[in-house]
A = this chain, B = another copy of it.
Amino acid sequence: MAKRKVANPLAFAVLGSLGERPMHPYEISSLLKGRGKEVSIKLNYGSLYSVVAALEKAGFIEAVETLRDGNRPERTVYAITESGRAEFDDWLTELLGTPAKEFRQLEAGLAYLPAFPPDRVVELLEQRVVALDEEIAQLVGMHEFMQSKKFPRIFWVESEFRVAVLTAERDYAKGLAAEIRVDGLEGSAFWRRTHELVAELGIKPRDVLQDPVKYFGEDLPWLKEVPPEGL
């Protein structure tokens, strides 16, 4: 899969919008907002205009007319080209069919869990669960509204999917918090004790790691095999 000439997801949305009919950039942004697509595709004005310029340069869209209305800024109307339709087609194919490597911020946080004492982590995860519950409830409420209006699901599956992902995140955070709370996570006794030592004796986590036998005895076989991280 060769790299796209214009890789910003917003460019995908621009192609999708111009696939309907020619528009000027601001009109595209209004359309996306009106349809709630900015929830799924990050929209910002700075990017919009540079992305449109890049698409034009790549031959995926072309300016068809320039309107001027009194003293207001010019509006340049763009239309999609044949090559632009092909690009959109290829892009949508890729978006739907091929998973891409993606990074969630919670994943980054979890990668450094041991840096905080267990109780602090539990507290924060529970705070996240509350916030996620709210977000999910809001989306679900919106879905119910749309269902009541008989607006077909096909037009908001992306929001349903968002709920699915948020729910998975929520469930994982909740489960993890519960496990840490009862010390059920293997290794977490060691983790807790290390932070206690740090707090009580004023020593540094790395001191503990440098001579674990002194603080924990011989019953932590993995410490010798793999050096722990993040503490």
Contacts and interface: CB of A to CB of B under 8 A. Distances in A.
Interface string A86-110: 0010001101111110111111111
Interface string A157-179: 11011101111110110001000
Given A20-B231, A105-B95, A110 B41 contact: no
A113 interface: yes
A164 B157 contact: no
Contacts of A108: 9, 12-13, 40-41, 95, 158
A interface, by DSSP: helix, strand, loop or mixed? helix
A70 interface: no
Nearest to A88: B115
A59 B228 CA distance: 28
A200 interface: no
A112 B13 CA distance: 8
Interface string A119-147: 00101110110011001000000000000
Contacts of A228: 152, 155
Given A102-B105, A149-B222, A171 B164 contact: yes
A193 interface: no
A97 B93 CA distance: 35
A188 interface: yes
Interface residues of A, number: 82
A21 B127 contact: no
A57 interface: no
A37 B21 CA distance: 45
Given A96-B109, A97-B128, A102-B105, 8 more contacts: A20-B230, A40-B108, A41-B111, A95-B106, A100-B105, A104-B162, A107-B158, A150-B221
24 contacts: A9-B105, A12-B108, A20-B231, A21-B206, A40-B107, A40-B110, A41-B103, A92-B109, A92-B115, A93-B124, A96-B121, A96-B128, A97-B124, A100-B105, A110-B161, A113-B154, A149-B225, A150-B222, A152-B222, A152-B228, A153-B187, A154-B186, A157-B176, A161-B172
